[in-house]
């Protein structure tokens, strides 16, 4: 009997090595696909989609539940692939959490009701709005939560009767191939295909005339290119782009009670999360207390390889991201910011390890504050005036998530003034498969999750009797 990793890997002679994020050693090999392979995958999807749509919601939901059961049955294998390839620890909000989340999100998409909506009724006329399949969805997913974000794209698309052609990040193809392998053990042939490849394959998906909808999670810069590429065939788009999420700690907040939530809001997946807390504004009256508490938590969080059961924080996934994070911290240091803890690599652990870092006495013009760091570093910025700090939080072109910490009633009033797709109160980055999620401004457009997410991967048809 073969393992899941063996089922999705090719030989060293047939493909390129995919390294362990912690050690750099190969964990498997993946064949690099080309534009011709993409054309074949799209043609297969288009041929399989009508029969899949014809099954109806109930049967598609049954098969999605079966695929979720398959993932549950192999959850540990999937988690170990994620932990090695992406680097996140097995425990906590890590690889086992991600593997379990794949099954949970599939079941949520399968179970959500979406009935036709009666738009008008009267004088012998009835108009109904129906949601129908679009055809083929091109799903382009990132490397930070590779399996889970792919499922966020795949599950609702399949539920609504579409076929899916998925393109994973070239850094984490095995995690997406593994979760698709498990699903395809239950799904009809051709409705879900993974095409691993480089950015050229991703660009070809965006411009492909046989793709009706594109779902993309990644950088704002790449999102803009996808908009351009998709224009000639008017493919529908859902873009979940970068975020430079701000948090505001109000006067009187209970720092001890909120400290753990603040810390993990920023440092989940070593900060490599689009909706992680990226810049924290703290009122002068609590500034030193917050800095000290978060520094204490950073120093206490064990850093190590994803496969080490004791690890709470893992490595950065790629050398490119390690260099970005290191450069932003050095820029802050050069500007006179105070590195409270961390601020350095951990080469004794491996090439991509960077210590959890708290940076204080920093201004908004520092690159660490104005740009998305996407790593285990949190700049903490002092403020005194609420109107001023709201304006500073809103100054970013990115507006994916934000949070307000303190008295819930006061926080609610401030949340209404913050420009962001989601604003959390006394938490950050918590998501729910039935609650819509999406960004504004440079963080993209379109909603995922819940009934709104189902509607986003469907066409509309009005039937008037």
Residues 6+ away with beta carbon under 8 Å from 405: 247, 248, 249, 250, 253, 258, 262, 411, 425, 426
- DSSP type of residue 31: P
Residue listed under structure tokens 């964990």:
27
Choosing from 70, 240, 293, 372, the catalytic residue is: 240
- DSSP type of residue 270: G
| Pair 427, 100: CB distance under 8 Å | no
Q: How many CB atoms lie within 10 A of CB 399?
A: 24
- DSSP β-bridge partners for residue 127: 120, 464
How does DSSP assign 244-266, residue by residue? -EEEEEPTT--HHHHHHHHHHHH
Residues 6+ away with beta carbon under 8 Å from 49: 133, 135, 136, 161, 162, 163, 191
* φ and ψ of 370, to 5 deg: -85, -20
Report d(CA 73, CA 345) in Å as an integer: 38
Report d(CA 137, CA 135) in Å as an integer: 7
| Pair 352, 87: CB distance under 8 Å | yes
Residue listed under structure tokens 């974000």:
149
76 is catalytic: no
State the sign of the Cα–Cα–Cα–Cα dihedral 446, 449, 455, 458. positive
| Pair 341, 297: CB distance under 8 Å | no
Residue listed under structure tokens 């050693």:
25
Residues marked active site are found at: 240
């Amino acid at each position: 009997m073969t393992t899941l990793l063996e089922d999705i890997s090719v030989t060293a002679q047939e493909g390129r090595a995919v390294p362990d994020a912690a050690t750099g050693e190969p964990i498997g090999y993946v064949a690099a696909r080309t534009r011709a392979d993409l054309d074949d995958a799209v043609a297969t999807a288009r041929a399989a989609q009508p029969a899949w749509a014809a099954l109806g919601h109930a049967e598609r939901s049954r098969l999605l539940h079966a695929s979720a059961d398959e993932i549950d049955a192999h959850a540990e294998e999937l988690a170990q692939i994620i932990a090695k390839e992406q680097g996140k620890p097995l425990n906590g909000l890590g690889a086992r959490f991600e593997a379990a989340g794949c099954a949970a999100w599939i079941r949520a998409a399968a179970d959500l009701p979406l009935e036709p909506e009666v738009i008008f009724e009267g004088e012998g006329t009835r108009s109904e709005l129906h949601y129908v399949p679009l055809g083929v969805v091109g799903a382009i997913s990132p490397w930070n939560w590779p399996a889970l974000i792919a499922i966020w794209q795949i599950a609702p698309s399949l539920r609504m009767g579409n076929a899916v052609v998925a393109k994973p990040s070239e850094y984490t193809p095995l995690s997406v191939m593994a979760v698709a392998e498990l699903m395809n053990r239950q799904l009809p042939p051709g409705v879900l295909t993974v095409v691993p490849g480089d950015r050229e394959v991703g660009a070809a998906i965006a411009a492909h005339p046989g793709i009706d909808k594109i779902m993309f999670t990644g950088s704002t810069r790449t999102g803009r290119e996808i908009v351009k590429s998709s224009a000639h065939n008017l493919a529908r788009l859902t873009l979940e782009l970068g975020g430079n999420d701000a948090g505001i700690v109000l006067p009187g907040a209970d720092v001890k009670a909120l400290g753990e939530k603040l810390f993990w809001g920023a440092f989940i997946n070593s900060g490599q999360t689009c909706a992680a807390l990226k810049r924290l504004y703290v009122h002068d009256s609590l500034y030193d207390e917050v800095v000290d508490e978060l520094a204490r938590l950073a120093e206490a969080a064990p850093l190590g390889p994803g496969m080490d059961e004791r690890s709470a924080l893992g490595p950065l996934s790629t050398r490119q991201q390690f260099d970005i994070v290191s450069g932003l911290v050095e820029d802050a240091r050069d500007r006179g910011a105070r590195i409270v803890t961390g601020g350095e690599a951990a080469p004794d652990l491996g090439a991509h390890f960077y210590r959890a870092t708290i940076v204080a006495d920093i201004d908004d013009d520092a690159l660490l504050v104005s740009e998305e760091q996407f790593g285990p570093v949190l700049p903490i910025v002092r403020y005194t005036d609420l109107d001023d700090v709201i304006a500073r939080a809103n100054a970013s072109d990115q507006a994916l998530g934000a949070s307000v910490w303190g008295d819930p009633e006061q926080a609610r009033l401030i949340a209404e003034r913050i420009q962001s797709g989601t604003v959390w109160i006394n938490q950050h980055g918590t998501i729910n498969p039935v609650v819509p999620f999406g960004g504004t401004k440079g963080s993209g457009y379109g909603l995922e999750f819940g009934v709104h997410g189902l509607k986003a991967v469907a066409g509309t048809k009005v039937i008037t009797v």
